[in-house]
Amino acid sequence: MNPTKVFLYDTTLRDGTQGEGISFSVHDKIRIAQKLDAFGIEYIEGGWPGSNPKDIEFFREAVRHRWRQAKICAFGSTCRANADPAADAQIRMLLDAQTPVVTIVGKSWRLHVEQIIGVDPQENERMIRDSVRYLKAQGREVIFDAEHFFDGYRDGPEDALGAIRAAAEGGADVVVLCDTNGGSLPDEVGEITGRVCQELSIPVGIHTHNDCELAVANALVAIRAGAVQVQGTVNGYGERTGNCNLTSLIPNLQLKLGLEVVPDLSRLRDLSMFVDELANCPHNIRAPFVGQTAFTHKGGLHVHAVQKLARSYEHIEPALVGNHQHIVVSELSGQSNVIAKAREMGFAFEKGSPQVGAILREVKRLEHLGYEFEAAEASFELLIRRVLESPAPLWELLEYHCTYIRSVRNRYETCEATVKLRANQEDIYTVAEGDGPVNALDAALRKALIPVYPMIEKVTLDDYKVRIIGTHQGTGSRTRVLIDSTDHHDTWCTVGVSDNIIEASWLALCDSYEYRLRKEGNPQITQINTD
């Protein structure tokens, strides 16, 4: 049984920030909330106003904003044991946040009731009932999160049900069943949620954690059992292994279960990457639906098939979630990979053409040496150009040299590189220092090339990755270097492989600058005054 409407409740700004390494400034939180609101999220949990100054400041800022449709929620707990909610300072802070919705968490597992907060089940139910009733009397929409509900239900169904009945008696608008430890399995979550939906006359929600890699699955079965609100975080951020991942849950709800939960699903990948960017987290390339490799095809048979019929190996159209099909080229490739990838780069080939065969042979030869072109698409485009066009070199290397000196006695360290090359029929010799040999080599190469090709001045290196190939050879192993570059408009990746890390780096550096110049068509050489 699917409900006709499911409400999305985002807790990225509160539960998500409990994940290790996740932190947002007040400004970040406002920007994320605005993005969630524009995307179509109905409830946005902003934080716990009684826990830290940052969350207090967020709610002050949130009051000043006009939200399109989202309701901002303040999160807290029930009143303390043997206390009146009206006299509880934490309850007062929830009201001072001035949000239309207040979410309070309470215990529903007898183990926690007796051994953590140290009260009997009757007092726990009183704390829940009175807290909900008091907040409702202040004109708030109240959501009750039944913490550890599934663990509590397994240990003693009546104790767990007693907690959520108390919330219902207090007037809660929604009771949310929480798999706080993330240890429940889908069949039990679905069965228990169905029983609760029959038991209560108010809406039921679901809040799952991902400790068993089942948070999304558990949320889906709860919805099919009758839950009408689902809580989660963008990209699955959260404590330990994270929360229910909304970027996976939402497309499953909309595309698989037919529940329209957001107006424009094609903005999903943009939302995912936006939150990653503000969290300063690398985007998970293997994330379902929104990851870079979610619709990537590598094997030759697969590529051949998707070129004929995309849905033969794609469960949805990538554009529905703002993603796109991606073909990679490797030693597993066939001609279909080369043709499809080349087409993305503006080259048109017929299957069976000698050029395709030559490109494929060169790819397999280089990958046997340790190259890989899956990420280094700029180097692959240069490979195509070299096979097809044999273009004249933009410069000729004559010599380069790197030195690193460290004097412990004199507390002195320096790294210097020299580059000698020929460009525009002139020999150019440059010297530069850097933080390390690769940085110094890059500085010397740039110093040599910029007078000839001024556009290189816009290019900067974004990332540098080293991979050791064939580690059984120890220090004699081959090295693969990947370099990400940008001109602050486009980004590209190049690769170099050698027994020598400096040589591998040099090859990747040269590819990076050559790629940028080749993209201009015919690079214009600036005349050098050698007088």
User: How do residues 356-386 score in pLDDT, each as one tens digit?
Assistant: 888 888 888 888 888 877 668 889 889 888 8
- Band the pLDDT of 531: cuts 50, 70, 90: very low
What average pLDDT does the chain have? Answer: 88
Q: Identify the H or E element spanning 60.
A: helix 53-63
On the question of pLDDT at 522 being above 60, the answer is no
What percent of the chain lies above the pLDDT cut of 70?
89
Which 3 state secondary structure label does DSSP give 402? Answer: strand
Q: What's the length of the chain?
A: 531
pTM: 0.70
- Band the pLDDT of 494: cuts 50, 70, 90: very high
Class of domain 7-279: alpha beta
Residue 226, beta-bridge partner list? none
Which is nearest to 200 in space by CA: 130, 240, 146?
146
**C-beta neighbour count of 171 within 10 angstroms:** 16
| Parts of the chain belonging to CATH 3.20.20.70 | 7-279
On the question of pLDDT at 406 being above 80, the answer is yes
Q: Is the alpha carbon torsion for 387, 389, 394, 399 positive or negative?
A: positive
| Parts of the chain belonging to CATH 3.30.160.270 | 396-518
What pLDDT does 521 receive? 61
Q: What angle do CA 370, 363, 294 make, to 5 degrees?
A: 85
Which 3 state secondary structure label does DSSP give 348? Answer: coil
CB-based contact 231:203 (threshold 8 Å):
no
User: Distance between alpha carbon 57 and the CA centroid of its chain, in Å?
Assistant: 26
Q: What is the CATH number of domain 396-518?
A: 3.30.160.270
Q: How far is CA 272 from CA 15, 285, 353, in A?
A: 16, 11, 41
Q: Identify the H or E element spanning 434.
A: none
What pLDDT does 186 receive? 97
CB-based contact 38:68 (threshold 8 Å):
yes
User: What is the arithmetic mean of pLDDT over 168-189?
Assistant: 97
Give phi and psi for 153, each to the nearest 5.
-65, -40
What pLDDT does 346 receive? 74
Which is nearest to 108 in space by CA: 44, 185, 196, 20?
196
Please list, in sequence order, all residues whose beta carbon lies within 8 angstroms of the beta carbon of residue 360, skipping any fewer than 6 positions away: 333, 334, 335, 338
Which is nearest to 85 in space by CA: 142, 125, 128, 116?
128
- Band the pLDDT of 196: cuts 50, 70, 90: very high
Which is nearest to 275 in space by CA: 54, 36, 45?
36
Q: Is the alpha carbon torsion for 65, 71, 74, 79 positive or negative?
A: positive
E-strand stretches of 295-376 = 296-297, 326-327
